[in-house]
Chains A and B, each alone.
Chain A
Amino acid sequence: MEVEINGARILATIENVPIFGTVQITQTLVVSWLILVLISALFIWLGSGLKVTGISRKQAVAETIYTSLVNFVRGNMGPDFDRYIPLVGTIFITSIVSNLISLVGIWSPTADLMTELAWALVVFVLITYHKIKASGIGGYLKGFLDPIFILAPINVMSELFTPISMACRHFGNILSGTVISSLIYAALVAANNALFHLLGSSMYVALAVTAVGLIPMVIGILKKKKKLMIPGIIVTVLGVLAILTCLGIRYPWLTIGIPAIPSLYFDWFSGCIQAFIFCTLTTLFIKQAAGE
């Protein structure tokens, strides 16, 4: 069987737009707007009805979010960079929501390199701004000739690769999660077809499997032995599914539930940790640029 892994789906193509020419409205854009609306609604709700004393549970959550964000930025950058709190917070929440939205079957905007590149370019502009501010435009340009002028091309490249590497790190992790999820899904479909082709070949086999599963299951439940009960339940379920297949009800049964296990790492863990890494790098790079 073929496993196809594509980029964002192109939902509409608008020709002859001034300046841009052909504009493709992709899933990335539409989902990004959706996420923009979602996050805005969430934060407008969180930021409404605030009180100084006698706070609600909602406000406690909002204040915790705010305090941890401020602590994160101050912990990484020191107290002089409070104006980057909104940027870091926005990138973080957008990244998290974009990564995790794939869990409900919607295309992740972060599986499109352009999303991360957009953020990384903003960070790159800030890095450059702080470097120029710290040592003047002359000092900034002179820095490329350091330690000797021959290294200038390498210095320029290293400068340019900062945003690219930031973007690609984030993108690569999310993309790999998507790729592996697709592969696991395809593999489960194949395994499903093979298994039920065998078990569901005739009603006798299916009934036999069900019976084989039922006996240890019933004994296990009566004697309260989990070692008998659990395999019994599994075999019984397989048998019942085989009966359903014989009756003509076909579905890739194995894809229910099982993909959630690798998704714990590839979507949840990776999604959260990449947002965190991107924000940490943002703060550290800006701090480093301003400090030199």
Chain B
Amino acid sequence: MDTLYQSLVTVNPVTLIAQICNLFIQLLIVKIFFLDKIKAVLDKRREAADKQIADAEAAKSEAAAIKQTYEENMRQAKAKADDLILSAQKTASQRGEEIISQAQQQAAQFKSKASADIALEKKKAINDAKNEISDLAMAIAGKVVERELSSADQDGMIDRFIEELGDGK
């Protein structure tokens, strides 16, 4: 059989048009079944990655907000504690001063009462002593002098005596 050949360099419009058609058919197939699909997958993957990053950033900012609130709370608590301690100290020192002043007052009261008591006792003792001395003096005088004295003279004389005695002290 005779094989027919085209010449080496030839212009064949049918081949030309067919090859243009082939190119576009090939282009469509490659685009629809390969490029578009891969692009969709890569886009989806990028979206997922972006979403993860966004989520991570959201979580981070949330954590920062929580941390800020916590720190704020801590600061408030500390301030409150400081206040409490301060006021407690103040109360305590006030109370202490009060107690001291009360104690001092009481002590002063006790002291004055005691000195009053002492004065009273002294007076009482003096009076007792006075009476006893007068009785004693009467007895001594009665015995020594052996004269009767009117009771009035007696009393006046004894009183004078006592007073001289007291002054002489």
Contacts and interface: CB of A to CB of B under 8 A. Distances in A.
Given A44-B29, A53-B45, A89-B30, A20 B15 contact: no
Given A10-B6, A66-B35, A90-B26, A52 B41 contact: yes
A85 B36 CA distance: 11
B12 A24 contact: yes
A84 to B, nearest CB: 10
B12 A89 contact: no
Given A7-B10, A23-B14, A87 B27 contact: yes
A175 B10 CA distance: 13
Given A33-B22, A44-B34, A86 B27 contact: yes
Interface range, B side: 35 or more
B20 to A, nearest CB: 5
A8 B44 CA distance: 46
A8 B6 contact: yes
B16 interface: yes
Contacts of B16: 114, 117-118, 121
A50 B10 contact: no
A26 B12 contact: yes
A35 to B, nearest CB: 8
B25 interface: yes
A66 B27 contact: no
Contact of B38 (A47, A109, A115): A47
Interface of B is mostly: helix
A143 B102 CA distance: 114
B166 interface: no
Nearest to B43: A52
A180 interface: no
B10 A113 contact: yes
A189 interface: no
Q: How large is the interface on A (under 10, 10 to 19, 20 to 34, 35 or more residues)?
A: 35 or more
B143 to A, nearest CB: 139
B19 interface: yes
A24 B23 CA distance: 19
B7 interface: yes
Nearest to A11: B4
Nearest to B18: A29
Given A28-B15, A47-B34, A93-B30, A9 B25 contact: no
B59 interface: no
Given A94-B23, A175-B8, A43 B30 contact: yes
B15 A6 contact: no
A40 B25 CA distance: 9
Contacts of A33: 22
Given A7-B10, A40-B26, A114-B12, A47 B37 contact: yes
Given A7-B8, A90-B23, A43 B34 contact: yes
Nearest to B15: A114
A119 interface: yes
A9 B23 contact: no
A5 interface: yes
A110 to B, nearest CB: 10
Interface of A: 5-10, 13, 20, 23-24, 26, 28-29, 32-33, 36, 39-40, 43-44, 46-48, 50-53, 59, 62-63, 66, 69, 85-87, 89-91, 93-94, 109, 112-115, 117-119, 121-122, 175
11 contacts: A7-B8, A9-B6, A10-B5, A13-B4, A20-B13, A43-B29, A47-B34, A53-B48, A59-B41, A63-B38, A175-B8
Given A26-B15, A94-B23, 11 more contacts: A7-B8, A13-B4, A20-B13, A23-B14, A40-B30, A43-B29, A43-B33, A44-B33, A86-B27, A113-B11, A122-B23
